[in-house]
Amino acid sequence: MFPASHALLVIDVQNDFCPGGALAVPDGDQIIGGINALMDEFPSVILTQDWHPAGHSSFASTHDATPMSVTEMPYGPQVLWPDHCIQGTHGAAFHPDLKTDRADLIIRKGYNPQIDSYSAFFENDKATPTGLEGYLRTRGITDLTLVGLATDFCVNYSAMDAARLGFAVTVLTDLSRAIDFDGSLAVALGDMKNAGVQIDG
């Protein structure tokens, strides 16, 4: 059992990121059994849930653009995704096989219509906090193990922010899966290593 200061952060294991979903990550559902088992080793489990209003600014359809094209937002470049994880829909729900009972906290992100939020800590403007940092600090949590979807987007951004905030961060790649868009997985793994994130199998 990990100490009380070490939490498991499970990123976006939702229907839309699993096979058959609107933004399916290849083999996204293959990690769920392993994540459920790993929960038993952690005194604290936190889940994140991508949670967009309809017409979100990260949706290609909102801009009459092609999905997976890149646009310039006030906060920088933004990939335009297919509509996904719309609040209250089946696609936004956790995958039915994910054991959600153990979650102490479910943190939702991406609800701001104007700003995407890959990270569990900050929206994509890198300034607007979700509140997760304060939650972890007030509970005395200093170490985080991250798993989930997608390795190269929400896991990556969450791990990078956590490391920057001073948490000791490990990403388990065997219990994460990537979109791998335009070489994004290799870039993400390099960035995380450079930031001091421990990458384990």
Q: Which of residues 17 and 167 has its CB atom nearest to ligand VGL in the complex?
A: 17
Tokens 């899966």 -> residue: 177
| Burial 20-35, CB ≥16 within 10 A → b, else e | ebbbbbeebbebbeeb
> Is 50 in the active site?
no
Smallest separation, CB 13 to ligand VGL (Å): 9
Q: 150: exposed, middle or buried (C-beta count within 10 Å: 0-12, 13-18, 19+)?
A: buried
Q: Residues in contact with ligand VGL, total (CB under 6 A)?
A: 9
**Is residue 91 a contact partner of residue 56, using CB atoms and an 8 Å limit?**
no
In the set 9, 13, 115, 150, which binds ligand VGL (CB under 6 A)? 150
- Alpha-carbon distance of 162 to 143, in angstroms, equals 9
> Is 85 in the active site?
no
Report if residue 81 touches ligand VGL, rule: CB under 6 A.
Answer: yes
Instruction: Tell me, residue by residue from 93 to 122, as one string, x for binding to ligand VGL by CB under 6 A and - for no binding.
Output: -------------------------x----
> Is 99 in the active site?
no
Q: Which of residues 63 and 137 has its CB atom nearest to ligand VGL in the complex?
A: 63
In the set 42, 94, 153, 167, which binds ligand VGL (CB under 6 A)? 153
Q: Is 181 helix (H, G, I), strand (E, B) or coil?
A: coil
Per DSSP, 63 falls in state G
